[in-house]
Amino acid sequence: MIAPPPGTGRHPGWPARLGPLRVAAGMVELRKPKLTDATSWSRIRLSDRRHLEAWEPTVPGSWEERNGTLSWPAQWSALRALARRGLSLPFVITVDGRFAGQITVGNVVRGSLCSAWIGYWVGSWATSGGVATASVALVVDHCFTVAGLHRLEATVRPENAASLRVLEKLGFRQEGVFRRYLDVAGAWRDHLCFALTTEDIPNGLVSRLLASGRAHVD
Ligand code: ACO
């Protein structure tokens, strides 16, 4: 059987390559996760524990076990399986071709919702240079066009100033507070809920970033 071109299958939008967009940190591109990402992924995750742990869901096992190279194949395989079932669109973020983080669209629900959540992390070596902002813009535009979604939500702890700033720069709308929403770093944490629907950005987020001078295409 001949596989349909990307974006035209039963679950449109994945796999895909998005970008490039040039930001202060370098050239940002998004691609599907690969089994061979194990070493780069693990190196950043192990050295960035303090940068990442306060914002990520609580998961059984030690940080070292969960983020060692040996745990990547199972995570990669789970991400790929969800993507193949149309439930997720997982991407690796690269900066100048180097693994820099991940951005994932999860819990894709179609039918009369056509909705999903978006989550992301960027290794400390690449932060504060516009990487997450560019990545979210690329993914949102992709989801609202090729992937056929109508609404995207992002939930953020009120203490997460950097992530709040990413969403603010992109014009996400704050819609409320989810009390004791997610078990993060060992406790049930309140989260602020932000969202965008297609009607909010008829010309997309990338065009907005380009117009603001925060990103460039060359
Ligand atoms: N207080 C206030 N603003 C801050 C802080 C801070 N402590 N730290 C950074 N910022 C600002 C930056 O200056 C920048 O704003 P500016 O462009 O106006 O100067 C903005 O926050 C960050 O924008 P980017 O550079 O596009 O984002 P970056 O590539 O640095 O990634 C991210 C941000 C993803 C939050 C990164 O810090 C990270 O991975 N943190 C740990 C994991 C995490 O929090 N993930 C998000 C969870 S919530 C969610 O997924 C919906």
**Closest Cα to atom 26, ligand 1: which residue?**
130
- For the entire predicted model, the pTM comes to 0.96
- Tally of residues, the chain: 218
Pairing outcome for strands 173-184 and 187-197: antiparallel
**pLDDT of res. 9:** 58
Residue 131 makes CB contacts below 8 A (sequence gap 6+) with 23, 25, 26, 28, 93, 95, 100, 101, 122
The SS3 assignment for 175 reads strand
Percentages helix, strand, coil for the chain (3-state, rounded to 5) are: 35, 30, 30
**Closest Cα to atom 43, ligand 1: which residue?**
121
**Closest Cα to atom 34, ligand 1: which residue?**
121
**pLDDT of res. 1:** 34
For residue 135 and ligand 1, the question of a CB distance below 6 A is answered with no
**pLDDT of res. 32:** 98
**pLDDT of res. 11:** 79
Low-confidence ranges of the chain (pLDDT < 50): 1-8
**Closest Cα to atom 8, ligand 1: which residue?**
162
The closest-lying atom of ligand 1 relative to the alpha carbon of residue 122 is 39
CA geometry: angle 66, 70, 74, nearest 5 deg: 75
Can you read off the two tokens belonging to residue 89?
A: 């669109």
Mutation pick for ligand 1 pocket among 92, 117, 122 (CB with most ligand atoms within 8 Å): 122
**pLDDT of res. 185:** 87
